Amino acid sequence: MSTLHEFLSRWAGPARWVGLGGAVLVMVAAFLPWAYLPAALDNVTYYGEPSILQWLGFALGFVTAACLVASPILAAKASPRTRRLLNLNRGATAAATASLVYQAIAAIAVALELGGLITLEPGAWLGVVGAAVAALATRALHAGSDARLRYLPTPAWAQILGIVVVLALVLVAAAYGLGLEDPGAFVAFGTFCGLAAWVLARVGIMGWISAAAAANRSALVLASFVVAFVFPFTQNGSDANMSIAAGVLIFAATAMGLNIVVGLAGLLDLGYIAFLGAGAFTAATLSESAFATLGWHPPFPIVMLIAGCVSALLGLLIGSPTLRVSGDYLAIVTLAFGEIFRITMNNLDGSDGPNITRGSNGIPAIPNLDVFGFNFGESHVIAGFDIGRFANYYWLLLLVLALIIVVFVNLNKSRIGRGWVAIREDERAAEAMGVNVFGLKLLAFAGGAFLAGVAGSVKAHVDVSVTPDQYVFMESAFLVAGIVLGGMGTVGGVLVGAAILKLLPEKLRFFEDYRLLLFGLLLIVMMRFRPEGLLPDQRRQLEFHAEDDELAEEADAQALPDLATAGAALSATKEDRA
């Protein structure tokens, strides 16, 4: 590869023109039909009238071209400081590569959906070829150094505006993506979103956004919450998508609770789903369902608390003996506990034990929540928008998730959170430093269980029925997979992981049968190549890549953003002088 790069780099000048040619081909291709029949993607059969997915292809080509054109102009005209704000050469390479991936996936999707390469129209071929030319040619460009846009002093309003724009884009993308019926289109769109984020990161814009986000935490949190809150309004009362969204939120809330245990305290809990189940069963037996086995029906807020406490109690019960033996044992013991829970729920059916859960039949017909006169089962019209049953639960779950995130973030920043991280990094050193290891571990375990119990109490009402086979080991493994995929110990990572793991199987029914296999492989591959996850915690990234000095410096810079900005500005001026 390096020899190829050396060879190419001699041709950096002409390569720019070749790359530009490829990018133009990609742009032209968007105006040509990609498929023979309208069934594939979002109907890509017209001349001169690109569909949305074709416009996205056009956009990648355009960004490639724009980077290629702007880069030499910037180099010639701009002051050295301005020049180094963005890395347009890297951006061009990334955009061209992204183009290639996107065009190829679109072409493959068309070929698979319509049956064979014969169904591809010239536009698809032109796009792939153009993108391939551009991707190869842009490899010859000088990569240059990291973009410095993230250190650019920006007024707060501009940063907040940036955050709002990004989140608005996320909302639009989520609404559009969920609305896509065609699996090929969904995959192509999902790939585009990932690629776009990557290109922005390579150009240096993502660095600015994350710096802005770091500087305006509260604005970011508020804006994200607003975006999540208005999401149901984009769905025109469609309950199908809202039920998926509610599922994602339940998963995210549970995974967030598990993230305290696994991500912060470093205790691998493979039976976490049992705590969710305990909450759900508690809520079900205390509900107004005709099949509820306990005669007591307290109002829901109290049920929520009881469910949380029952789970926490189970957490203490299982945690207090096992947390003394640390590490790998805990994983297996929690797994065993998960099995004990499932078997016990199955056996409390009146013949093998007292009748509490009605055994494998579970407790069906759990009525909708009715809190303070608001019935969650009824549709409501708010500002002219239909808000269905799942949208109501979506908001409730959003509140629960927000609560869990608040708990998570505050714990993470507190003395307790630092104690957990210390335990995770080195238990003996932590103990020697006076950290109450056992107490903190138990707190993490019981606290995580409490949050899962609360989430479970809502889940019981959303799902209408609660049965033991909803709470099997595979579900625990999924939760762990979600955390690992997104990035252990971070809020954003868990949300991304939960969204990916829940959305993909919902949208890609054909892949239903293979999803477990793919998740298994995903876990192995992630551990092998990116154990820190997609959106890692800086500290954890370091843990996995201890030898990487550049990363360490970056982490230091992140840890002290204000100082780092000042320092970077200083060093930038120094370098400019030299």
Partner 1 sequence: MDLLIQQLINGLSLGALYALIAVGYTVVYGIVQLINFAHGEVFMMGAFGSYTTWMLMGSPTNLSIGVALGLVLPAMILGGVLVSVGTALLMERFAYRPLRNAPRLAPLISAIGLSIGLQEAVRLFYGQIPGFPDSRRAIPFPVIEGLTGRSIQVGGVTIQHSAIFTLGALLICAALLWWFVNKTRMGRAMQATSQDADTARLMGINVDKAIATAFAVGAALAAVAGVAHGLRYNNIDFQMGFMAGMKAFTAAVLGGIGNINGAVVGGLVLGIVEAMATTYIPGQFGSSAWKDVWAFAILILVLVFRPQGLLGAKVVDRA
The DSSP secondary-structure symbol of 261 reads: I
Q: Tell which one of 77, 372, 513, 562 touches partner 1 (CB under 8 A).
A: 513
Q: Tell which one of 5, 217, 413, 428 touches partner 1 (CB under 8 A).
A: 428
| Cα–Cα distance, 341 to 416 (Å, whole number) | 29
- Lookup: tokens for 479: 């939760």
Note whether 316 binds partner 1 by CB under 8 A. Answer: no
Site string for partner 1, 213-232 (x = CB under 8 A): --------------------
Query: Measuring CA to CA, how many Å separate 103 from each of 454, 471, 554, 574?
Result: 45, 41, 34, 43
Q: Which is nearer to partner 1, 337 or 395 (CB)?
A: 337
Nearest distance, CB of residue 320 and partner 1, angstroms: 9
- Lookup: tokens for 546: 């201890």
| Cα–Cα distance, 531 to 544 (Å, whole number) | 7
> How many Cα atoms are found within 13 Å in the side-chain-facing hemisphere of 391?
20
| Cα–Cα distance, 70 to 284 (Å, whole number) | 62
- Cα 547 from chain centroid (whole Å): 27
Site string for partner 1, 554-573 (x = CB under 8 A): --------------------
Note whether 390 binds partner 1 by CB under 8 A. Answer: no
Q: Tell which one of 188, 335, 400, 446 touches partner 1 (CB under 8 A).
A: 335
| Cα–Cα distance, 467 to 474 (Å, whole number) | 15
Nearest distance, CB of residue 197 and partner 1, angstroms: 25
Q: Which stretch binds partner 1 (CB under 8 A): 37-45, 272-280, 316-324, 384-392?
A: 316-324
**CA angle 126-131-134, nearest 5°?**
125
Q: Which stretch binds partner 1 (CB under 8 A): 274-282, 341-349, 377-385, 386-394?
A: 341-349
Q: Which of 273, 257, 279, 239 is nearest to 366 (CA)?
A: 279
Which three-class secondary structure string do you get for 212-228?
HHHHCHHHHHHHHHHHH
Q: Tell which one of 74, 222, 522, 551 touches partner 1 (CB under 8 A).
A: 522
CB-neighbour burial class of residue 17 (10 A; exposed 0-12, middle 13-18, buried 19+): exposed
Note whether 321 binds partner 1 by CB under 8 A. Answer: yes
Q: Tell which one of 543, 552, 555, 572 touches partner 1 (CB under 8 A).
A: 543
Nearest distance, CB of residue 521 and partner 1, angstroms: 5
Rounded to whole angstroms, the maximal C-alpha distance in the chain is 84
Note whether 326 binds partner 1 by CB under 8 A. Answer: yes
Q: Which is nearer to partner 1, 105 or 336 (CB)?
A: 336
Sign of the alpha-carbon torsion through 265, 267, 269, 270: positive
Q: Tell which one of 142, 296, 328, 383 touches partner 1 (CB under 8 A).
A: 328
Note whether 511 binds partner 1 by CB under 8 A. Answer: no
Note whether 24 binds partner 1 by CB under 8 A. Answer: no
Q: Which of 285, 324, 563 is nearest to 431 (CA)?
A: 324
SS3 514: helix
DSSP labels for 291-325?
T-SSS----HHHHHHHHHHHHHHHHHHHHHHHTTS
Nearest distance, CB of residue 527 and partner 1, angstroms: 4
Note whether 427 binds partner 1 by CB under 8 A. Answer: yes
Report the relative pairing of strands 380-382 and 370-371 from DSSP bridges.
Answer: unpaired
Note whether 406 binds partner 1 by CB under 8 A. Answer: no
Nearest distance, CB of residue 439 and partner 1, angstroms: 17
Note whether 473 binds partner 1 by CB under 8 A. Answer: yes
| Cα–Cα distance, 396 to 297 (Å, whole number) | 20
Nearest distance, CB of residue 468 and partner 1, angstroms: 12
Q: Which is nearer to partner 1, 156 or 521 (CB)?
A: 521
| Cα–Cα distance, 501 to 495 (Å, whole number) | 10
Q: Tell which one of 288, 352, 469, 548 touches partner 1 (CB under 8 A).
A: 352
Nearest distance, CB of residue 324 and partner 1, angstroms: 7
Q: Which is nearer to partner 1, 525 or 560 (CB)?
A: 525
Note whether 433 binds partner 1 by CB under 8 A. Answer: no
Note whether 432 binds partner 1 by CB under 8 A. Answer: no
Nearest distance, CB of residue 248 and partner 1, angstroms: 21
Q: Which stretch binds partner 1 (CB under 8 A): 15-23, 59-67, 282-290, 331-339?
A: 331-339
| Cα–Cα distance, 553 to 33 (Å, whole number) | 48
> How many amino acids of this chain bind partner 1 (CB under 8 A)?
55
- Cα 491 from chain centroid (whole Å): 9
CB-neighbour burial class of residue 292 (10 A; exposed 0-12, middle 13-18, buried 19+): buried
Q: Tell which one of 48, 118, 351, 383 touches partner 1 (CB under 8 A).
A: 351
Site for partner 1 in 257-296 (CB under 8 A): 262, 266, 268, 270
Note whether 322 binds partner 1 by CB under 8 A. Answer: yes
| Cα–Cα distance, 467 to 363 (Å, whole number) | 6
Q: Taking a C-beta distance cutoff of 8 angstroms, is the pair 479, 255 a contact? A: yes
| Cα–Cα distance, 55 to 50 (Å, whole number) | 6
| Cα–Cα distance, 316 to 150 (Å, whole number) | 45
Q: Which stretch binds partner 1 (CB under 8 A): 202-210, 225-233, 273-281, 348-356?
A: 348-356
Nearest distance, CB of residue 187 and partner 1, angstroms: 21
Site for partner 1 in 139-178 (CB under 8 A): none
Q: Which of 164, 443, 453 is nearest to 320 (CA)?
A: 443
Q: Which is nearer to partner 1, 118 or 546 (CB)?
A: 546
SS3 466: strand
Q: Tell which one of 38, 364, 367, 531 touches partner 1 (CB under 8 A).
A: 531
| Cα–Cα distance, 196 to 500 (Å, whole number) | 17
Note whether 325 binds partner 1 by CB under 8 A. Answer: yes
- Which residues of this chain interact with partner 1, rule CB under 8 A? 262, 266, 268, 270, 318, 321-322, 324-329, 331-333, 335-337, 339-340, 343-344, 346-347, 351-354, 426-428, 473-474, 477, 480-481, 484, 488, 513-514, 516-517, 519-524, 526-528, 531, 543-544
